[in-house]
């Protein structure tokens, strides 16, 4: 099986292999996923195992990341919190994709009043500072992991709607879309079979970058006490809890902070590399348009 | 109203596009009929409205006024949804085969699209079989179905475009400059293919081209467009032997002749200037600004298509006369 679709993916993968940054990012992501899935097995001790004899211990062989103010093993908590971060990223970006992409498709394809209404709604969402909007949503729905994910999903929906709409606007003018209309294809079929596959590249890039920002937003929400509730571990929450001990127990903040940093960096590296690799395809689309005369 | 042998008909069609610079009158009062089994050649420069006319026939652009009839039905005001059923009856081959095929799909999927959309085949096996037959018809190997457009040559891609157009067994195929973007050597092959398919399948063509030479051997009737209007129509023989409109005569004089003796004596009528803007067409006769024979009243009277011979119409106040005058002048 060869094909523009598949060969583009293959080309992208082989180009990524030669990009050391992308390889690094991918390796970190794979490790992260392994940790997210198997974190509770990898963790040397239970996530809420309180040990009052070993409070605020600096990193040592028995506790490589030290212990917190309740004597809990920071390494175990960091590992187990990876699942929360990945879950938040996947679910919130999933929500944003599931809502934003169809809205962008409808907007860009039908234009007119529908486009105006949808995009003005998106503008309103877009105009709010991300955290403020998320805080407002959490305030309404009550704090917790699920509401944090919904809030972040809502916040990122306009981005996907806009990216999708921009892609649709250029693809819908292509001759092959007119050709599909000319053989009698329905609007739904045209959007699904012809428009969506041709705007996949920018969406993939946006997805990987948004995953990073979603994880960051969750950390911020948890830091503000609006996300994951104690005693469940979350990187942002751990940062918050550790802030009171910055001078005497630096490891409380440094390790969860480093985890956030590495995760966001990895998603960004992969996202940037994907953008570089996938963008030439966008060029071919505009070339195709230029040659239609 | 429609004779049974008329496959499609345009009646005083106007297609105007609003633009920031003003209203572009791309098509401004065109009437034509395509009869079953014939090829109607539609010729004109860029900007003459010939492609828009073709698109309007498929209702791919919305008419501003006038009527579009297909298969005896007035489809002028049909909704997009209702039109979908009609799409099987009228197919289109586009100028640029590269752009008209979705780069993401193997060409077999593009050819099969009408079959899927109109549920013409039962199941994947029947569909693949039909796609294979269509590839045979256009002279491509069946394995080509698995290829993507970028893996094919321009000529092969246009064959795919033709196969897709034929998949629904249409009553009318609109060919929008089907060879204009192909290499010279491939143009003849595609022309032969189109002619062969018409003979074997009894197809009806609306053949859009920008020069008369392209449609001469292919067409039963020819209509010449200028600035959104048909200025002359007739059989190729009538138009070649006795062009009645100065514009047609000028177009014809630009066609080189293969015989060097004739070619040496060929009198070229050079038109001055470019085609005027369709936003603000000249008053009276639209061609008068470039017509070597323009008279005073050409600015006041907008000439309508009138019969000069049976089956031969021209829209010129001095039809015939002007052309004879032009020929005498350039001969001197």
Q: What is the CATH number of the domain that holds A189?
A: 1.10.3720.10
CA angle B205, A292, B109 (to 5 degrees): 70
Buried b (16+ CB within 10 A) or exposed e, B111-145: bbbbbbbbebbeeeeebbebbbebbebbbbeeebb
| Nearest chain B residue (CA) to A198 | B104
Of A1, A179, A187, the CB nearest to B94: A179
pLDDT tens, position by position, B16-65: 999 998 899 999 999 999 999 999 999 998 889 999 999 999 999 999 99
B280 and B203 in a single domain? The answer is no
User: Is there a domain that residue B88 lies in?
Assistant: yes
Q: In whole angstroms, how far apart are CA A86 and each of A41, A47, A82, A89, A208?
A: 17, 17, 6, 5, 12
User: Which strand (E) or helix (H) includes residue B263?
Assistant: helix B260-265
Residue B289 token pair:
């600004």
Q: Using 50, 70 and 90 to split pLDDT, how confident is the model at A165?
A: very high
CA angle, corner A261, sides to A258 and A264, nearest 5? 150
* Chain B nearest CA to A164, separation (Å): 17
Banded pLDDT at A14 (limits 50, 70, 90): confident
pLDDT at A286: 41
B251 shares a domain with B168 = no
Is B103's CB within 8 Å of A2's CB? no
The region of weakest confidence among A16-20, A78-82, A175-179 is: A16-20
- Give yes or no: residues B68 and B165 share one domain: yes
Segment A105-139, tens digit of pLDDT: 999 999 999 999 999 999 988 888 877 887 888 88
Together in a domain, B215 and B315: no
pLDDT over 70 percentage in chain A: 91
| A284 touches B: beta carbon within 8 Å | yes
Mutation to test the A interface, candidates B55, B100, B165, B176, most A Cβ within 10 Å: B100
The answer to whether position B224 is within a domain reads no
Q: What local confidence, expressed as pLDDT, does residue A6 receive? A: 55
Predicted pLDDT of residue B149: 92
Give yes or no: residues B170 and B309 share one domain.
no
With a cut of 70, say whether residue A239 has pLDDT above it.
yes
Do the domain assignments include residue B230? Answer: no
Nearest to B99 among A176, A184, A185 (CB): A176
Residues from chain B contacting residue A7 (CB–CB below 8 Å): 148
Same domain, B204 and B291: no
What integer pLDDT is reported at residue B3 of this predicted model?
A: 52
Would you state the pLDDT for residue B136? 96
B270 and B142 within one domain: no
Angstroms from B299 CA to nearest CA on chain A = 33
| Mean pLDDT across B197-207 | 94
A175:B99 CB<8 A: yes
In this prediction, residue B331 carries a pLDDT of 57
Mean pLDDT of chain B: 89
Instruction: Kindly report the pTM of this predicted structure.
Output: 0.82
Q: Does the pLDDT at position A4 exceed 90? A: no
CB contacts under 8 A, A 168-197 vs B, are 174-176, 178-187, 189, 193-194, 197
User: What are the pLDDT digits (tens) for B68-123?
Assistant: 999 889 999 999 889 998 899 999 999 999 999 999 899 999 999 999 999 998 88
Could you give the percent of chain A with pLDDT greater than 90? 27
In contact, B177 and B210? CB cutoff 8 Å: yes
Among B56, B95, B96, B104, the residue to mutate for chain A (most A Cβ within 10 A):
B104
Residue B45 lies in a domain: yes
Total of domains in chain B: 2
Q: What residues make up the domain containing A63?
A: 2-291
Q: Scanning every residue of chain A, which has its alpha carbon at the shortest distance from the alpha carbon of B46?
A: A293
Is there a domain that residue B227 lies in?
Answer: no
Contact at CB, B96 and A183, closer than 8 angstroms: no
Closest CA to A51 of A41, A61, A40, A66: A66
**In Å, how far are B153, B178, B182, B210 from B186, measured between CA atoms?**
10, 11, 6, 18
Which pLDDT value is given to residue A3? 43
Place A281 in a pLDDT band, splitting at 50, 70 and 90: very low
Residue B289 near residue B282 (C-beta atoms within 8 A): yes
Residues A179, B149: C-beta atoms closer than 8 Å: no
Q: Do B165 and B271 share a domain, yes or no?
A: no
Domain count, chain A: 1
Q: Please report, for residues A168, A263, B155, the alpha-carbon distance to residue A230 in angstroms, rounded to integers and kept in the order given.
A: 44, 22, 68
The beta-carbon neighbor of B114 closest among A3, A174, A183 is A183
Which residues touch B245 (CB under 8 Å, ≥6 apart)? B224, B231, B232, B287, B314, B315, B316, B319, B322, B323
How long, in residues, is chain B? 332
The DSSP 8-state label assigned to residue B106 in this structure reads -
Using the predicted structure, report yes or no on whether residue B329 has a pLDDT greater than 80: no
Alpha helices in chain A (DSSP H): 4-17, 20-42, 74-110, 112-127, 130-141, 145-171, 175-182, 187-189, 196-198, 200-223, 235-242, 251-291
Expressed as residue numbers, the domain containing B285 is 236-331
pLDDT of residue A125: 86
CATH number at residue B197: 3.40.50.300
State residue A9's pLDDT score: 66
Chain A residue whose CA is closest to B51: A293
Identify which of A221, A241, A238, A204 has the alpha carbon closest to the alpha carbon of residue A149: A221
């Amino acid at each position: 099986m060869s094909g523009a679709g598949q060969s583009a993916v293959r080309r992208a993968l082989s180009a990524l292999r030669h990009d050391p940054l992308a390889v690094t990012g991918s390796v970190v992501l794979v490790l992260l996923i392994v940790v997210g899935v198997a974190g509770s097995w990898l963790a040397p001790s239970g996530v809420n195992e309180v040990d009052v004899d070993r409070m605020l211990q600096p990193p040592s062989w028995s506790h490589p990341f030290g212990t917190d103010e309740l004597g809990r093993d920071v390494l175990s908590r960091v590992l187990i919190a990876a699942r929360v971060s990945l879950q938040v990223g996947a679910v919130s970006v999933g929500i944003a994709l599931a809502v934003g992409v169809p809205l962008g498709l409808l907007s860009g394809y039908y234009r007119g009043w529908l486009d105006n209404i949808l995009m003005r709604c998106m503008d309103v969402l877009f105009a709010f500072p991300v955290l403020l909007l998320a805080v407002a949503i959490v305030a309404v729905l009550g704090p917790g992991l699920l509401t944090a994910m919904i809030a972040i999903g809502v916040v990122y929906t306009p981005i996907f709607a806009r990216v999708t709409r921009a892609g649709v606007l250029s693809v819908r003018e292509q001759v092959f879309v007119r050709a599909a209309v000319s053989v009698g294809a329905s609007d739904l079929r045209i959007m699904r079979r012809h428009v969506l596959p041709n705007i996949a590249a920018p969406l993939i890039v946006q997805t990987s970058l948004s995953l990073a920002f979603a994880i960051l937003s969750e950390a911020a929400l948890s830091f503000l006490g609006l996300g994951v509730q104690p005693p469940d571990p979350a990187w942002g929450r751990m940062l918050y809890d550790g802030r009171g001990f910055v001078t005497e127990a630096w490891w409380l903040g440094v390790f969860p902070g480093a985890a956030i940093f590495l995760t966001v960096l990895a998603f960004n590296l992969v996202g940037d590399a994907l953008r570089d690799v996938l963008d030439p395809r966008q060029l071919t689309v505009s070339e195709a348009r230029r040659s239609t005369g | 109203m429609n004779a049974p042998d008329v496959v499609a008909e345009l009646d005083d069609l106007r297609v105007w596009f609003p633009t920031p610079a003003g209203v572009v009158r791309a098509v401004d009062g065109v009437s034509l009929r395509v009869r079953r089994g014939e090829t109607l050649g539609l010729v004109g420069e860029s900007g003459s409205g010939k492609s828009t006319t073709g698109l309007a026939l498929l209702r791919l652009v919305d008419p501003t006024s006038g009527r579009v009839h297909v298969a005896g039905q007035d489809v002028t005001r049909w909704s997009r949804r209702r039109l979908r059923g009609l799409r099987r009856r009228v197919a289109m081959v586009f100028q640029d085969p590269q752009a008209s095929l979705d780069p993401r799909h193997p060409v077999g999927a593009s050819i099969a699209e009408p079959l899927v959309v109109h549920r013409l085949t039962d199941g994947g096996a029947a569909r693949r079989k039909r796609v294979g037959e269509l590839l045979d018809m256009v002279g491509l190997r069946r394995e080509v179905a698995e290829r993507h457009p970028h893996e094919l040559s321009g000529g092969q891609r246009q064959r795919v475009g033709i196969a897709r157009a034929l998949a629904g067994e249409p009553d009318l195929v609109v060919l929008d400059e089907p060879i204009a973007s192909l290499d010279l050597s491939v143009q003849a092959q595609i022309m032969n293919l189109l002619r062969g398919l018409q003979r074997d399948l009894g197809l009806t063509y609306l053949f859009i081209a920008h020069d008369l030479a392209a449609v001469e051997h292919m067409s039963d009737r020819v209509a010449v467009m200028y600035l959104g209007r048909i200025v002359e129509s007739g059989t190729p023989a009538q138009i070649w032997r006795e062009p009645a409109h100065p514009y047609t005569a000028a177009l014809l004089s630009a066609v080189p002749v293969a015989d060097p003796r004739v070619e040496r004596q060929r009198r070229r009528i050079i038109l001055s200037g470019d085609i005027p803007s369709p936003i603000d067409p000249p008053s009276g006769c639209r061609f008068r600004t470039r017509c070597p024979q323009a008279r005073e009243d050409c600015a006041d009277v907008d000439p309508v298509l009138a019969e000069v011979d049976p089956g031969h119409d021209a829209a010129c106040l001095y039809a015939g006369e002007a052309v004879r005058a032009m020929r005498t002048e350039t001969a001197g």
